[in-house]
Structure 1
Amino acid sequence: MGQWFNGPGEDLATVARATGYPVVEVPGWRGRGHGPLDDYVGVVVCHHTAGPEPEDTSDNYPSLGLVRDGRRGLPGPLGHYGIGYDGTVYVIAAGLAYHAGAGGWAGLSGNSVALGIEAEDSGDGDWTGEQRDVYPRLVARLCLFLGVDSSRACAHREWAPERKDDPAGIDMRRLRARVAHYLRSPNEIPRGAASTFEEDA
């Protein structure tokens, strides 16, 4: 049968709002996808867009058109969420997205079992503070939504180590540690909430 994460009830937009960051629901997101996802979705894949440097654009999320519509030979959507320079979360698609490709994580493989986050970065790993802050909050909230633990969050380079290197500049061990903390203390997920997280050196 498969599923679309577009409601009723909790959906990808309500998940995004739980981060406490601004959310943009990209028009048409509820019906956007290459058909439904699998009945079981159990991985969150973290990406960067390889877009322009912030100083070279006036857009907060200049890769939106690419992630939504795709490119020659690879039709969109290419992800479920986007993250802009200021931490805004863009909800792009509710169905199957072509983001992970060949590879796998935690014994699962295929785009149909994975949600993808495409965060705006040129590939140099020079993330804004807001992006570094919102990324684990969104991943944690997605893990709660899917009913999985922090081990199900992976980098695209972990999903496909022979061909991918994204997201640049993000230590996945540290990101998963923060996600695990948020899963133990979900009241700390929203931006601005008091945090008891202590990061290892």
Structure 2
Amino acid sequence: MAEPMSAAAILVALRAEGVRVVEVGNWRTHNRNAKGPWGPVNGSIVHHTVTKGTANTVAIVRDGYSSLPGPLCHGMIAKDGTAHMVGWGRTNHAGGGDPAVLARVVAEDYGTRPPAPAKGNATGTDGNRHFYGWECENLGNGRDPWPGAQYDAIVRVQAAICRAHGWTAKSVIGHLEWSSDKIDPRGISMPTLRADVAERLKHPASWSPGKPSPTPPPKETPVTTTDDRVRSLHTNLMGIGSLTEINGQGDRVQHAAGYYLAHIERDTTTLQAQLNRVEAKLDQLIAALPKES
């Protein structure tokens, strides 16, 4: 349990941990403090954004939606590992969660995971008051990858928070560990993430491992249907670099490779039909030839 860090203090902590930081607009005073208290803080929550594209994601987490005003977190960790600071103070990120989970996080006395939450967003304890919130750019579909640079930055950001407050890695949880109706951050193992944060905390903030950035834990292989594979194949074919040709009017036009593959398939089918007709005609001619006596 602690008072929240100042905006200046979090910048110092993040940069000391080796995190690349981008300050977005008036983030230091952009918050939801008028709607309720912020603090004491008891931990940090990791989320996924369900968005694509860094600029688009930054705009969404900063401004929010008509039904959920921003900021939606304190910082957004992009695919390239940059932390974009969008708000400081109370933010709309955690919503309601299980008070039993909060108690275990405060005490830092659980095993590899806190107890499964029994309360959700609408019925739980106010998490926006008690947690720092970090959105991470990912579609959250179980297939969108978590690049090594991004995962490394998530570890560093959480270690910076824990180091500044004197917390252990058990003060870091995923949104799905706080609220019973959430699934984020999908594709990241929270026990593994906490283990990586704990390893960083054994070293000075400036520490970097001898190998490249920590790699994300293996994801569960999603179950895919035949329809999924067909749609994926079609998308990949249509996404192959476009080619240029001159049409009948002398204009230059571009088509994706899938356009040409479709025409090849059509022409092949036509040629096969013609070949079948030729073979049938030959069979007729052969049958009509006089038989040798």
- Please list every run of 5 or more consecutive structure 1 residues that lacks an aligned counterpart in the other structure: 53-58
8 Å contact kept, 1:43–1:115:
yes
- 1:62 corresponds in structure 2 to 56
Is 1:153 matched with 2:172? yes
Deviations 1:53-85 (A, max 9, x none): xxxxxx434311111111021111110011111
Kindly provide the amino acid, as one letter, of the partner of residue 182 in structure 2. Answer: K
8 Å contact kept, 2:160–2:205:
no
Kindly provide the amino acid, as one letter, of the partner of residue 20 in structure 2. Answer: P
- 1:15 corresponds in structure 2 to 13
8 Å contact kept, 1:12–1:94:
no
- 1:49 corresponds in structure 2 to 49
Using the alignment, how far apart are the partners of 1:127 and 1:170 within structure 2?
A: 8
Is 1:167 matched with 2:168? no
Using the alignment, how far apart are the partners of 2:15 and 2:84 within structure 1?
A: 10
Aligned residue pair count: 186
Q: CA deviation at 1:37?
A: 1.7
Q: CA deviation at 1:14?
A: 1.9
Of structures 1 and 2, the one with the larger relative CO (CA 8 A, separation 6+) is: 1
8 Å contact kept, 2:51–2:139:
yes
- 2:66 corresponds in structure 1 to 72
Give the alignment's Cα RMSD to 1 decimal.
2.5
Instruction: List 4+ stretches of structure 1 deviating above 6 A.
Output: 198-201
Deviations 1:80-118 (A, max 9, x none): 011111101111111001101010433164211100000
- 1:128 corresponds in structure 2 to 147
- 1:102 corresponds in structure 2 to 96
Using the alignment, how far apart are the partners of 2:7 and 2:93 within structure 1?
A: 19
The verdict on how the C-alpha distance between 1:24 and 1:113 changes in structure 2, with shifts beyond 3 A counting, is same
8 Å contact kept, 1:136–1:179:
yes
The two structures have a TM-score, normalised by structure 2, of 0.58
The two structures have a TM-score, normalised by structure 1, of 0.83
- 2:22 corresponds in structure 1 to 24
More helix by share: 2
